[in-house]
Chain A
Amino acid sequence: MSKKSLLARNNDLANTERQLEILSNGIFANGELPTFAKKIKETNQFPLRPKKLEILQINLGYMCNQVCAHCHVDAGPDRKEIMTVETMEQCLAVIENTGAHTLDLTGGAPEMNPNFRWFVEEASKAGIKDFIVRSNLTIIRANKKYYDLPEFFKKYNVHVVSSMPHWTRGKTDKQRGSGVFDKSIKALQELNAVGYGMPNSTLKLDLVYNPSGAYLPGDQMALEQDFKKALKDDFNIEFNSLFAITNLPISRFLDYLIASENYEDYMFALVEAYNPTAVQNVMCTNTISVSWDGWLYDCDFNQMLNLKVNSNIKHISKYNEDVLQDRNIIINQHCYGCTAGAGSSCQGVVA
């Protein structure tokens, strides 16, 4: 597996326009498969519009200590895009007035932003009660300066959401890099030790499962049971819920799909599993995604495709919730990833 981002490898797909071209051509251009717009028109769900804003998802930077094979952010140690204090201050000004109740911090590894802790503290002062940090787990063991993260999370009652592709070492390391499984297990045990994921504890620890290959996630409940049993039996680890997330055909996962000649089959599988009920609750309907440099997007995936919100307000410095909420959500064929089967969002299934 490559240890570098697509960007550092000068890969064709580091260019987001090239990705959008691939998603619009071929089987979607020749009519073999319907475009996403055409599909949601069948059930009168076009244009897709936001509902009440609940979540501000802020990407603190694309730097990460891991280089996962499927990463839609194309994150890695070689990515230098990091949110500055100035942009964080603009976010805090928004947080003070927003109707959103949840602040969802992601990356990269959000903890690698040098001002991560300051930002959480300030956001807490600004009144945020419901924090989510999307932690890759290994960061907690990556360097001494991160060893006390479990205590820090606990102090601010941060809801920790962590990726874990499988309960076996082989499958985990293949997707996320050699040694990731053992470090993740250690990190989970440390989170358990301070109370995370334990029965009767208010500290929430959820795991995210996404398939390590060109197939869709199975039933979330069944997977959760398998994960719970295996992690408990093998490592005495407890957690709250498992979110099954579908890999969207963008960035590194798209590169993999094309290189392994799975792209067409995967798109057929996504379209075949299309579920109109899932469209009603896709995360772009209750979330605004903010990039490391303050631009606004309908979701983290649109952010990675550089599809800014279709609104006069496009930057956090000019944020106006009422104006923003009155917009059409930008869609493309990657959106099929969020509407397949029981649906997929950063909170798992939606239907």
Chain B
Amino acid sequence: MSKTYYDPADLRKFGNISDWNKELGDSFFEYYGKVFEEGALSAREKSLIALAVSHTEQCPYCIDAYTKDGLQRGITKEEMMEAVHVGAAIKSGATLVHSVQMMNKVNKLEM
């Protein structure tokens, strides 16, 4: 048993989740594969979205996977960083927009 919660080598064992529930595991991977196919959005655009979400989800496996995926697609580091900023902007925006609630509450409570 590993002494740390995350091991980079665990990423390549992702497929093993089907071992303990084949039906749900297989369904998930089939769905996952379909999501990333070329569609109304290009596979390249989806890769950048996945990279941004990997950061907001703070999933180290996903960050490893979609950084590599981006490089394979010829996505530049400038594009990757901009995508992460989109995620960061939504994260900070989501924090800040809640301050309206704080302001509302202050205005309600204060005489």
Contacts and interface: CB of A to CB of B under 8 A. Distances in A.
A215 interface: yes
A134 interface: no
Contact of B68 (A215, A223, A227): A215
A211 B71 contact: yes
Contacts of B68: 215
A218 B74 contact: yes
A33 to B, nearest CB: 11
Categorize the interface residue count of chain B. 10 to 19
Contacts of A272: 12
B91 interface: no
A341 to B, nearest CB: 9
A168 B76 contact: yes
Interface string A97-118: 0000000000000000000000
B72 interface: yes
Nearest to B73: A218
A80 B69 CA distance: 39
Given A268-B12, A272-B12, A217 B43 contact: no
B12 A226 contact: no
Nearest to A167: B74
A167 B58 CA distance: 31
A70 interface: no
A215 B71 CA distance: 7
Given A268-B12, A272-B12, A218 B76 contact: no
A78 B43 CA distance: 43
Contacts of A222: 42-44, 73
A13 to B, nearest CB: 24
A226 B74 CA distance: 8
Contacts of A215: 68, 71-72
Interface string A141-169: 00000000000000000000000001110
Given A215-B68, A222-B43, A222-B44, A166 B74 contact: yes
Contacts of B12: 268, 272
Interface string A271-286: 0100000000000000
In the A-B complex, list the 7 residue pairs whose CB atoms are closest, starting with the nearest: A218-B72, A218-B73, A215-B71, A215-B68, A215-B72, A226-B74, A223-B74
18 contacts: A166-B74, A167-B74, A211-B72, A213-B71, A215-B71, A215-B72, A216-B72, A218-B73, A218-B74, A219-B73, A222-B42, A222-B44, A222-B73, A223-B73, A223-B74, A226-B44, A265-B8, A272-B12
Interface of B: 8, 12, 42-44, 68, 71-74, 76
